[in-house]
Chain A
Amino acid sequence: MKIYRIHALICAGAQCIAAGGNGFEDALKDELKKHELLEEVNIIETGCMGSCQLGPLMVVYPEGVIYTKLKPEDAKEIVEEHFLKGRDVKRLMWKEKETVLPSLSEIPFFAKQTKVVLRNCGIINPEDINEYIAQGGYEALGKTITEMTREDVIQVIKDSGLRGRGGAGFPTGKKWQLAYEQDSPIKYIVCNADEGDPGAYMNRSVLEGDPHSVLEGMAIAGYAIGAQKGFIYVRAEYPLAVKRLEIAIKQAKQIGVLGKNILGTNFSFDIELRIGAGAFVCGEETALINSIEGKRGEPRKKPPFPVQKGVFGFPTVINNVETLANIPVIIEKGVKFFRSFGTEKSPGTKVFALAGKVNITGLVEVPLGTPLRTIIYDIGGGIQEGHSFKAAQTGGPSGGVIPSQYIDVPMDYESLASLGAIMGSGGLIVMDETSCMVDVAKFFLKFTVDESCGKCTPCREGTRQMLNILERITSGKGRMEDLELLEKLGNTIKLTSLCGLGQTAPNPVLTTLRYFRDEYIAHIKDKKCPSNVCKLSSEVKNERKVFNRSSS
């Protein structure tokens, strides 16, 4: 193996690439060539490092110096100063309160996180299976299929208390047990990688940064329930994730950790990719099943549940990306290790996509039960200058808002539910006083109206009626009785919709009504938007034309 003097890890997550990462990498390579350093410096493209807002990022080892917001013209200085003379380029380093922080371990954003799911993201080259294996990858699969019975595996996952990270928090071990009990020659494992929640992108980062952890989790699940085949249903909006998954599957098959007779045992497991085509509802498991089968992504009624009758009518376990990425860790390091994070009822960690009005946005992984305040202030560096925390929106259009008086709420499934919000897939959008809560509720409702598949009436018609009322209120034509009407409609839609999309669609309206009723009243009675967002005028803007794709 070749030894390099310097290892330069460049973040090649979609967000850093979008912020201009490719240009910097090309410029860096040119500079290295010019100084004949290509033999001494190893450039490694990694997955997302987490602090996306400060991208494009590069970490230089052995020192672990992190450079932020890199531009192509910075390459010359880094090569000449750091790589040749060993002097850090202070101007490009991470700064907090005017202090330069030299390495990852000294930066609170990184130091205060607990990385289990994101253990390899930003550390390994996701396009090289050897780097995953060097981190202990596929050891758990080997242990599972050579030392454990199927029942053992299910018991471990049950004991770990792992709950589905896609949103609802159903116990994963229990789901596997139900599928295991089904008497069927064919069973399937499906990885739900249709991350459609606006504001959440942790699945994208895991798929782009550590695809093998998901493949390994799927193979272990396949062994446990008796499936020989898995599907990954991934959004077409994530072309880089698709590319890296394709590479990962190919490499895994080449070395025999996927495919026929894995590691010489009689267990065979194969994985196929299924690409979506843009439909939020396909994240709902029964709609996803229809989509895998090549149909319109309309939900089916439950029961039968997917574990009884799923893809092509066979028992199917559907797990989220983050859930699956946890599996190898639980098998390898044990239940006790996993339970050392989180709470009794919500063990382990959770990745949140911190976005909105905080100083440092990005992906944050913390033990479940970590207070919201810790995430926003200690890790996210607080609210952007001059403003104060007003509310956080969790769970996208299925979730709700957490107002400032609950900033110390522990982020776990039960605590969030008690506030009317949900964990969801982990989107966490922070808002300050410049955000209008009626506007936010309207925003999500527009989204649901647009994304409703139209199969059931409460969701198709009911959400549209709610949106009409909100448009009336934000244009200054609201009536006080509208508030009761919104609540009545919202609760009816929750109770009567066919699938999770409709059952949760009213949540943003209901929680903002619960905590920010005065803002609704100000729009109606004073014809004023306290945050100056809604342009209250007599004309109702014809915005629905813009949002309604079906008519375009």
Chain B
Amino acid sequence: MKEKSLIDLLHNVQESNSKNYVSKDLAKKVAETSNLSLSKVYGVATFYTMFSVTQRGRHIIRVCRSLSCHLANGESILHKLKEVLGIDIGETTLDGEFTLEESSCLGMCSIAPSMMIDNVPFGNLKEEDIEGIIKKFKEGAL
């Protein structure tokens, strides 16, 4: 089994896309290289939450919605993010920088509430931290 699985391929093509999604062209290419039907590729791409078949921002913000984060007032972090970014869950900012998403559990329950921007984890979040984090991320400082 040296060849990559369909999920690995989808991760790769999604990462290579600046809009962070599996476009129709990319899906077609994956289908061809892996000898699968396009519907099969779409079936997999739409099943997993980390894949998207619609355009997303350059950075993906994943807010943890685990019970630990919920009990630690994670809701207020989500509200603050919506306010700072001016978007709802699943939406992308107008400048194409950020897409806001939820994650079931990021495994950082002891430092709840938490979130991840791309691969960078953040914990012990307070409402007042959000604006600074977003600003720093935009500037490429994180």
Which of B34, B51, B105, B123 is close to A15, meaning CB atoms less than 8 Å apart?
A: B123
Contacts known (A275-B11, A278-B50, A294-B7); A18 close to B111, Cβ less than 8 A: yes
Bound together, the chains give a CA A393 to CA B1 distance in angstroms of 41
Shortest CB-to-CB span from A118 to chain B, Å, is 14
Contacts of B90 in A (CB 8 A): 549, 552
Q: Which residues on A sit within 8 Å (CB–CB) of B104? A: 196, 198, 278, 280, 447, 450-451
Q: Are B109 and A200 in contact (CB under 8 A)?
A: yes
Q: Does B71 make an interface contact (CB < 8 A)? A: yes
Tell yes or no: A211 within 8 A of B by CB: no
Judged by a CB distance under 8 angstroms, whether A511 is at the interface is no
Q: Is A274 a contact partner of B7 (Cβ separation < 8 A)?
A: yes
The answer to whether A431 has its CB under 8 Å from any CB of chain B is: yes
Contact residues of B between 93 and 134, Cβ < 8 Å to A: 102-112, 114, 116, 119, 121-124
- Tell me which residues across on chain A come within 8 A of B20, comparing CB atoms: none
Q: Give the chain B neighbours of A14 by CB distance below 8 A.
A: 107-108, 121
Q: Is the CB of B70 within 8 A of A15?
A: no
Contact A204 B107 (CB under 8 A): yes
Among B34, B44, B104, B121, the most chain A Cβ lie within 10 Å of the Cβ of B104
CB-based contact B106/A278 at 8 Å: no
> Do A197 and B105 contact each other (CB < 8 Å), given the known contacts A18-B122, A294-B7?
yes
Contact string, A399-429, partner B, CB cutoff 8 A, digits 1/0? 0000000000000000000000000000101
**What residues on A are CB-neighbors of B103 within 8 Å?**
237, 278
Contact with A along B1-45 (1 / 0, CB 8 A): 100011110110000000000000000000000100000000110
DSSP class of A's interface residues: helix, strand, loop or mixed?
mixed
Could you tell me if A199 and B68 are in contact, using CB atoms closer than 8 angstroms?
yes
Pick the contact of B109 from A19, A196, A427, A453 — CB < 8 Å? A427
| Those of A367-396 within 8 Å (CB) of chain B | 393, 396
Please state if A429 and B49 are interface contacts (CB–CB under 8 Å).
no
CA distance A276 to B121 in the complex (A): 18
Q: Does A440 contact B (CB under 8 A)?
A: yes
Q: What is the total number of residues of chain A having a CB less than 8 Å from a CB of chain B?
A: 64
B residues contacting the other copy or chain, number (CB 8 A): 42
- A434's nearest neighbour on chain B, judged by CB, is B71
Is the Cβ of B48 less than 8 Å from the Cβ of A429? no
Please, how many angstroms separate the alpha-carbon atoms of A420 and B98 in the complex? 43
**Among the listed A197, A236, A363, A443, which residue makes an inter-chain contact with B70, where contact means beta carbons less than 8 Å apart?**
A443
A201 lies within 8 A of B107 (CB):
yes
Within 8 Å of chain B (Cβ to Cβ): is A362? yes
Q: A23 to B44, alpha carbons, bound, how many Å?
A: 39
Give, as a whole number of angstroms, the nearest-CB distance from B26 to chain A. 15
User: Which residue on A lies nearest to B11, using beta carbons?
Assistant: A275
Residue of A nearest to B116 (CB): A237
Q: Does A306 contact B (CB under 8 A)?
A: no
Compute how far the CA of A18 lies from the CA of B109 in the bound complex, rounded to whole angstroms.
Answer: 12
**Does A55 lie at the interface of the complex (its beta carbon under 8 Å from any beta carbon of B)?**
yes
The reply to whether the CB of A110 lies closer than 8 angstroms to some CB of chain B is no
- In the complex, what residues of A have CB within 8 A of residue B65's CB? 198, 447, 547
Contact with B along A524-552 (1 / 0, CB 8 A): 00000000000000000000001101001
Q: How far is the CB of A451 from chain B (nearest CB, A)?
A: 7
A53-B110, A235-B107, A427-B109 known, 12 other contacts, Cβ within 8 Å: A15-B110, A19-B124, A195-B107, A201-B105, A237-B103, A237-B107, A277-B10, A278-B51, A280-B104, A295-B6, A447-B65, A546-B89
| 19 chain-A/chain-B pairs, Cβ below 8 angstroms | A15-B110, A15-B121, A15-B123, A18-B121, A19-B124, A196-B105, A199-B109, A201-B110, A239-B119, A274-B8, A275-B8, A277-B49, A278-B48, A312-B1, A353-B109, A355-B109, A393-B67, A447-B65, A549-B90
Closest 7 CB pairs of A and B: A294-B6, A277-B48, A198-B66, A294-B5, A52-B110, A201-B107, A18-B121
